[in-house]
Amino acid sequence: MGKPTGFLEINRELAADTAPRERVKHWQEFHEHLPEEKLRAQGARCMDCGIPFCHVGRILAGAAAGCPINNLIPEWNDMVYRGLWKEAIERLLKTNNFPEFTGRVCPAPCEGSCTVGMHTPPVTIKQIECEIIDRAFREGWIASQPPATRTGKNIAVVGSGPAGLAAAAQLNKAGHNVTVFERADRIGGLLMYGIPNMKLDKEQVVLRRVKLMEKEGVKFVTNTEVGKNYPTKKLRANFNAVVLATGATVPRDLKIEGRALNGIYFAMDFLAANTKSLLDGKRTANFIDAAGKDVVVIGGGDTGTDCVGTSLRHGCRSVTQLEILPQPPLERAANNPWPEWPKVYKLDYGQEEAKVIQGADPRTYLVTAKKFIGDASGNIKEILTVKIEWQKDAQGRFTPKEVPGTEKTIPAQLVLLAMGFLGPDAAILKDLGVAQDDRTNIKADYGKFATSVRGVFAAGDCRRGQSLIVWAINEGRACASEVDRYLMSQTDLP
């Protein structure tokens, strides 16, 4: 540790963002960069505490505590402090195939478990991670590294999100011939079409990594949906092993009166069509326009935030976000101690933009939609909402109960459902004969990743349910090791 007293002497400092009123005018990433001397100072705040929960990657109280891919955070923080950038990227790549993704879109559970964060603001781990990999690309330290020899084994990876890409990268490194199948027209899955461009640039960041993997020997096949225009029998016949990394793509619906009205969409349909139109340079047939409309986003989380930010960039008249949960406290509650993920109030980028433009945080808490109301043409016009309170039922479980007399009607010409996902698309699973658990996820034990069908493995959200990008990378890497072991009787993959 190069600066034992760094956390006492240096305050947390983040790079400035482009002002909200300016950044809603475009789709580019809006995070600025700190100069090197300030980055090194931020690295000095890492105290090498001896109890680095920042990289333990455990589930505590139902949420990730620390980094699920076990990044060697204290090591590369110290290297940045000492100006050893090349050594820092070498440490970072030992555990993370795609720091340029996690450094931009991961919610940073590592910072929530930072020891410094017990009493003062935590180390800027996420920012330092992103700066390490971005500098490595600028300096030319990141180059294709195809394996020296090939095993002759052929592996199919179905799905090109973070889990599928991580599995493909590791299996290719082991010398196997890897083919990744993606049903969309571009590689990346959630990274490409589930996250807006202003959070994760597609051309400069996502496709840069895809092209690098292609140079290393990974084969990508787009516009191909296994089980539909590519038979599963052909998949089993042509490949020695299959990795299912299809994600959890079935959205949670809100089946209340008026659901069939025009103008009500799942959030991912809205976001995906927007990104495709942006990349194609023209509006696609399924583009959903928020311009001039009162937009209501039902649900929270990152997807809800992305809907808010995207609607503002379209030029919506207003945007409101309905949250069924109570507003989090400003500081950790007594039942939410370190190193658990801090469940505190946060103004994310979309809400920050809405607050500046509209004058207030767009979120309304402890409220739910009760009825969708349409006009004479069958289009959504209003939403009848009602306040709720959480009460324990006979089994002691908290359930939402309507508060009588709190009904309210709000205008809405566009409604976006951002209430999470239920599980993977079942079509390919049934076609392959893969067993599913009670939540419809693929049945495969963590650490083994083997499904009920020999030679078929599963990783990521399709196995564990909707989760974080770092868990997807964790599972993709770990699954690759098990596939390698299955094919070669042993593995050297980490």
From 388, 419, 450, give the residue that closes a domain. 419
Does 57 reside within a domain? yes
pLDDT in tens, 200-251: 999 999 999 999 999 999 999 999 999 999 999 999 999 999 999 999 999 9
Does 402 reside within a domain? yes
pLDDT in tens, 451-460: 999 999 999 9
pLDDT in tens, 91-126: 999 999 999 999 999 999 999 999 999 989 999 999
- Indicate whether this model's pTM tops 0.85: yes
From 370, 392, 419, give the residue that closes a domain. 419
pLDDT of 1: 65
What CATH code is carried by the domain that includes residue 354?
A: 3.50.50.60
pLDDT of 220: 98
Contact predicate 350/325, CB 8 Å: no
Which residues 6+ apart lie within 8 Å of 416 measured at CB? 265, 266, 267, 270, 295, 296, 297, 298, 307, 311
Give the domain range for residue 373. 253-419
Does 331 reside within a domain? yes
CB atoms within 10 A of CB 123: 28
Does 494 reside within a domain? no
Does 302 reside within a domain? yes
Average pLDDT of the chain, as a whole number: 96
Which residues of the chain fall below pLDDT 70? 1-2
Does 146 reside within a domain? no
Same domain, 306 and 431: no
Q: What is the dihedral of CA 42, 200, 25, 418, to 10 degrees?
A: -110
